[in-house]
Amino acid sequence: MFSNRDLVAPNRPIYHKNDGSFNLIPGIPNPPDCKGNVYNKDKSKRIGMVGRKIGMTLQWLNDGTRCLCTMIHFPDNVVLSANDPETWWRLSVTGKQKAFGKRGPMWSQMVGAYNDDSVFYTDEYRKIFEKVGVPYKKFMAGFMVSEDAVVKPGTV
Q: Looking at 1-15, 27-41, 67-81, 104-118, which range is the least confident one? A: 1-15
User: Is the sign of the CA dihedral 40, 44, 48, 53 positive or negative?
Assistant: positive
Decide if 18 is inside a domain.
no
Q: Give the domain extent around 58.
A: 45-149
Decide if 84 is inside a domain.
yes
Above 90 in pLDDT, residue 95? no
Count how many domains the chain has. Answer: 1
Chain segment 96-148, per-residue pLDDT in tens? 777 787 777 888 889 999 888 888 888 888 888 888 888 888 999 999 888 88
Decide if 122 is inside a domain.
yes
Tell me the backbone φ, ψ of residue 27, rounded to 5 degrees: 85, -10
Decide if 91 is inside a domain.
yes
Express as a percent the part of the chain with pLDDT over 90: 17
Query: What is the average pLDDT value for the chain, to the nearest integer?
Result: 77
Q: What is the pLDDT of residue 92?
A: 81
Decide if 110 is inside a domain.
yes
Decide if 21 is inside a domain.
no
